[in-house]
Amino acid sequence: RWMLWVLVMSFPLPLLALNMGWMAAEVGRQPWVVQGLLRTSEAVSPTVSTAEVATTLALFALIYAVLFVAWARIFFGLVARGPEEPVEMLAAERGPAAAEGSAGR
Protein backbone atom coordinates (compact mmCIF):
# COMPACT_ATOMS: atom_id res chain seq x y z
CA ARG A 1 0.00 0.00 0.00
CA TRP A 2 2.83 2.44 0.76
CA MET A 3 4.24 1.76 -2.70
CA LEU A 4 0.99 3.02 -4.24
CA TRP A 5 1.36 6.29 -2.32
CA VAL A 6 4.95 6.63 -3.54
CA LEU A 7 3.68 6.10 -7.07
CA VAL A 8 0.89 8.65 -6.66
CA MET A 9 3.17 11.28 -5.12
CA SER A 10 5.85 10.86 -7.81
CA PHE A 11 3.70 12.21 -10.65
CA PRO A 12 5.54 15.59 -10.93
CA LEU A 13 9.01 14.03 -11.09
CA PRO A 14 9.17 13.48 -14.90
CA LEU A 15 8.11 17.08 -15.54
CA LEU A 16 10.63 18.35 -13.01
CA ALA A 17 13.40 16.26 -14.60
CA LEU A 18 12.47 17.53 -18.06
CA ASN A 19 12.54 21.17 -16.98
CA MET A 20 15.79 20.83 -15.01
CA GLY A 21 17.49 19.16 -17.97
CA TRP A 22 16.27 21.84 -20.33
CA MET A 23 17.50 24.61 -18.02
CA ALA A 24 20.90 22.96 -17.58
CA ALA A 25 21.32 22.67 -21.36
CA GLU A 26 20.18 26.20 -22.17
CA VAL A 27 21.98 28.01 -19.37
CA GLY A 28 25.14 25.98 -19.88
CA ARG A 29 25.57 26.76 -23.55
CA GLN A 30 24.56 30.44 -23.54
CA PRO A 31 22.59 30.31 -26.82
CA TRP A 32 22.76 34.07 -27.32
CA VAL A 33 26.54 33.94 -27.84
CA VAL A 34 28.03 32.65 -31.12
CA GLN A 35 31.04 30.38 -30.55
CA GLY A 36 34.20 32.00 -31.83
CA LEU A 37 32.45 35.14 -33.14
CA LEU A 38 30.90 36.82 -30.11
CA ARG A 39 32.32 36.64 -26.59
CA THR A 40 30.10 36.62 -23.52
CA SER A 41 31.37 40.06 -22.48
CA GLU A 42 30.29 41.46 -25.85
CA ALA A 43 26.82 39.89 -25.69
CA VAL A 44 25.58 42.22 -22.95
CA SER A 45 22.86 44.61 -24.10
CA PRO A 46 23.55 48.14 -22.84
CA THR A 47 20.02 49.33 -23.65
CA VAL A 48 18.16 46.84 -21.42
CA SER A 49 18.30 47.77 -17.77
CA THR A 50 18.20 45.43 -14.81
CA ALA A 51 14.80 46.84 -13.85
CA GLU A 52 13.37 45.99 -17.28
CA VAL A 53 14.63 42.42 -17.06
CA ALA A 54 13.29 42.06 -13.51
CA THR A 55 9.91 43.52 -14.53
CA THR A 56 9.62 41.15 -17.49
CA LEU A 57 10.52 38.16 -15.33
CA ALA A 58 8.03 39.23 -12.65
CA LEU A 59 5.26 39.64 -15.23
CA PHE A 60 5.92 36.18 -16.67
CA ALA A 61 5.84 34.72 -13.16
CA LEU A 62 2.59 36.57 -12.43
CA ILE A 63 0.96 35.33 -15.64
CA TYR A 64 1.96 31.74 -14.88
CA ALA A 65 0.70 32.09 -11.29
CA VAL A 66 -2.67 33.43 -12.49
CA LEU A 67 -2.98 30.59 -15.02
CA PHE A 68 -2.10 28.03 -12.34
CA VAL A 69 -4.67 29.43 -9.90
CA ALA A 70 -7.34 29.40 -12.63
CA TRP A 71 -6.49 25.82 -13.54
CA ALA A 72 -6.48 24.72 -9.88
CA ARG A 73 -9.87 26.31 -9.18
CA ILE A 74 -11.45 24.66 -12.22
CA PHE A 75 -9.79 21.30 -11.55
CA PHE A 76 -10.62 21.09 -7.85
CA GLY A 77 -14.13 22.43 -8.50
CA LEU A 78 -14.76 19.60 -10.94
CA VAL A 79 -13.29 17.04 -8.56
CA ALA A 80 -15.39 18.32 -5.64
CA ARG A 81 -18.55 18.17 -7.74
CA GLY A 82 -17.87 14.56 -8.67
CA PRO A 83 -19.10 12.62 -11.66
CA GLU A 84 -22.48 13.34 -13.15
CA GLU A 85 -25.27 10.98 -12.24
CA PRO A 86 -26.18 8.61 -15.07
CA VAL A 87 -29.54 9.38 -16.58
CA GLU A 88 -31.80 6.37 -16.78
CA MET A 89 -34.27 6.73 -19.62
CA LEU A 90 -37.07 4.40 -20.47
CA ALA A 91 -37.23 3.03 -23.99
CA ALA A 92 -40.54 4.83 -24.52
CA GLU A 93 -38.93 8.17 -23.69
CA ARG A 94 -36.09 7.59 -26.17
CA GLY A 95 -38.41 6.85 -29.04
CA PRO A 96 -39.30 3.83 -31.18
CA ALA A 97 -35.93 3.68 -32.98
CA ALA A 98 -34.04 3.27 -29.71
CA ALA A 99 -36.45 0.60 -28.53
CA GLU A 100 -35.95 -1.41 -31.73
CA GLY A 101 -32.18 -1.09 -31.54
CA SER A 102 -31.99 -2.41 -28.00
CA ALA A 103 -34.53 -5.20 -28.49
CA GLY A 104 -31.95 -7.62 -29.86
CA ARG A 105 -29.66 -7.39 -26.83
Confidence of residue 100 (pLDDT cuts 50, 70, 90): low
> Is residue 62 domain-shared with residue 38, that is, in the same domain?
no
Residues 60 and 24 in one domain: no
Same domain? For 55 and 27 the reply is no
pLDDT in tens, 18-64: 999 988 887 776 656 766 777 777 777 889 899 999 999 999 999 99
Question: Number of folded domains in the chain?
Answer: 2
pLDDT reading at 82 higher than 80: yes
Q: Are residues 33 and 65 in the same domain?
A: no
Same domain, 50 and 23: no
Question: The domain containing residue 33 runs over which residues?
Answer: 1-44
pLDDT of residue 90: 61
What dihedral do alpha carbons 34, 39, 45, 46 form, nearest 10°? -160
Please tell me whether residues 34 and 73 are part of one structural domain. Answer: no
Question: What is the model's pLDDT at position 38?
Answer: 77
Nearest 5°: the CA angle 73, 78, 79 is 100
39 plus 4 within the same structural domain: yes
* Contact (Cβ atoms closer than 8 angstroms) between residue 40 and residue 33: yes
Residue 54 and residue 39 share a domain:
no
Check whether residue 31 and residue 79 sit in a common domain.
no
| pTM, 2 dp | 0.48
Task: Work out the angle at residue 6's Cα, subtended by the Cα atoms of residues 81 and 79, and round it to the nearest 5 degrees.
Answer: 5
Half-sphere exposure at residue 5, Cβ-oriented, CA atoms within 13 angstroms = 2
CA dist 7 and 76 (Å) reads 21
Q: Is the pLDDT of residue 101 over 60?
A: no
